Amino acid sequence: MKLEEVVPWGRTLEEYKSMFSLSETDLNAKILGCGDGPASFNAEMTELGHSVVSIDPVYQFSAEQIEQRVRATYEPVISQVKQNSKNYIWKNFQDADELGKARLNAMEKFLLDYESGKNARRYLYQSLPSLEFVDDQFELCVCSHLLFLYSEQLSLDFHVTSIHELLRIAPEVRIFPLLKLDGEPSLYLELILKDLSNKGYRAQVQSVAYEFQKDGNQMLRISR
């Protein structure tokens, strides 16, 4: 898949649980969702009484503008998925059309929650690599479909600085997936693992239950 910029594409609580191997204990932690975009994760977690703050540059826009942006990118993304369907595991979704429907459903759930969530400061317009949070403001940070996935668009320095920033505000960080958009492993991973080890962090690549990109069933789990 070829994309020139980061695309707002929403995922659900169930997907987050699988992508990040979130236990009941994890779900009860104070969580930061980094790059959540129009995911329904925050809305669903809030309904269940959990604590999540989501950050994304897209939150500078209105609900109507976000919906327009998602719908504008819908056809190009789904078209590319159809053209490269052999690169995906069709376990959770029957085909590209069902995938697209699930993404739009997640967005619609997000949009219903967006205004109240902004008022409650659950959706904040912030972006890596510099965040406006105090040290250890959160207990867990999850970063979905941003770092590593967009290795062609975002530099190694951006990745390193961003990960250290996330580790400043949370003692544990989980990142998924570790493949690029084209399905190839990110060349940044080994360099970042070495950097983290040199700086005394514990970093492990762990298999997870979620797999959509072929061989894309691993997350990076980092703690300090």
- CATH value at residue 68: 3.40.50.150
- List residues bridging with 142 in a β-sheet: 33, 174
Instruction: Assess if residue 7 is contained within a domain.
Output: no
Q: Could you give the C-alpha distances from 58 to 9, 104, 218, in angstroms and in order?
A: 11, 16, 26
Which residue range(s) make up the domain with 109?
13-223
Confidence label for 161 from pLDDT (cuts 50, 70 and 90): very high
Give the pLDDT mean for 36-44. Answer: 97
Looking at the predicted structure, is the pLDDT value of residue 45 above 50? Answer: yes
Q: What is the pLDDT of residues 164-208, one digit of tens each?
A: 999 999 999 999 999 998 899 999 999 999 999 999 999 999 999
Give the pLDDT mean for 125-145. Answer: 97
For the entire predicted model, the pTM comes to 0.92
Instruction: Assess if residue 117 is contained within a domain.
Output: yes
Instruction: Assess if residue 148 is contained within a domain.
Output: yes
Q: How far, in whole angstroms, is CA 157 from its chain's centroid?
A: 19
Looking at the predicted structure, is the pLDDT value of residue 7 above 90? Answer: no
Question: Is the previous residue joined to 185 through a cis bond, with omega within 30 degrees of 0?
Answer: no
In which region does residue 143 sit, left (phi positive, over 0), alpha (psi from -120 to 50) or beta (all else)?
Answer: beta
Instruction: Assess if residue 8 is contained within a domain.
Output: no
Instruction: Assess if residue 25 is contained within a domain.
Output: yes
Instruction: Assess if residue 86 is contained within a domain.
Output: yes
Instruction: Assess if residue 155 is contained within a domain.
Output: yes
Structural domain count, the chain: 1
Instruction: Assess if residue 77 is contained within a domain.
Output: yes
